[in-house]
Amino acid sequence: MFSERLRALRRGQDLTLAQLATALNQLFKPDKEHENTAAQIGNWERGIRVPSYMEVRKLAEFFDVTMDYLAGKSERDEYDLDRLFLSGKELTFGQKTLSSDDRYAIYQLMNGYLHGRSRRIDTNDEEDTPITHQESLELGLDGGKQK
């Protein structure tokens, strides 16, 4: 599983083996004896060699995935936003770190939106098809002037 996921992540970013090795070396700045090579990464992708814990950790950080994802123990695209927003993990948006107050406010906005959305959907008893109600919100983007 590791080899397939590593290959998919690398190819997903259109990186050659050499480009990935260079990027890892630039990011983590190992000594000459411990630099990554294209051949080394190729061996990991083919399952010929198994990387050390530290190498897996570097790859996970580089690709912004968990080590569990690389090892095949979890799926990458499954996140519980409820738990994530209330956790102590650092969250960023637009390359800016969210404060705990920002996180809580965003959590409340999402929660309110989803709660409101579920209340807007009614069921038509005759046809048993959902009826949705459109709502609009004036954001005042025109400088507060009424049209």
3-state secondary structure the chain: CHHHHHHHHHHHCCCCHHHHHHHHHHHHCCCHHHCCCHHHHHHHHHCCCCCCHHHHHHHHHHHCCCHHHHHCCCCCCCCCHHHHHHCCCCCEECCEECCHHHHHHHHHHHHHHHHHHHHHCEECCCCCCEECCCCCCCCCCCCCCCC
Tell me how far apart the alpha carbons of residues 22 and 11 are, in angstroms, rounded to a whole number: 15
Q: Return the bridge partners of 123, or none.
A: 130
Tokens of 138: 């004036």
User: CATH number for the 2-71 domain, one of 1.10.260.40, 3.40.190.10, 1.10.10.10, 1.10.8.50?
Assistant: 1.10.260.40
- Cβ(9)–Cβ(63) below 8 Å: yes
pLDDT in tens, 74-131: 665 566 777 777 777 788 888 888 888 888 888 888 888 888 877 766 544 455 555 5
What is the pTM (predicted TM-score) of this model? 0.52
Residues of the chain with CATH 1.10.260.40: 2-71
Tell me how far apart the alpha carbons of residues 92 and 13 are, in angstroms, rounded to a whole number: 21
Tell me how far apart the alpha carbons of residues 107 and 114 are, in angstroms, rounded to a whole number: 11
pLDDT in tens, 9-34: 999 999 999 999 999 999 998 888 88
Amino acid at 102: D
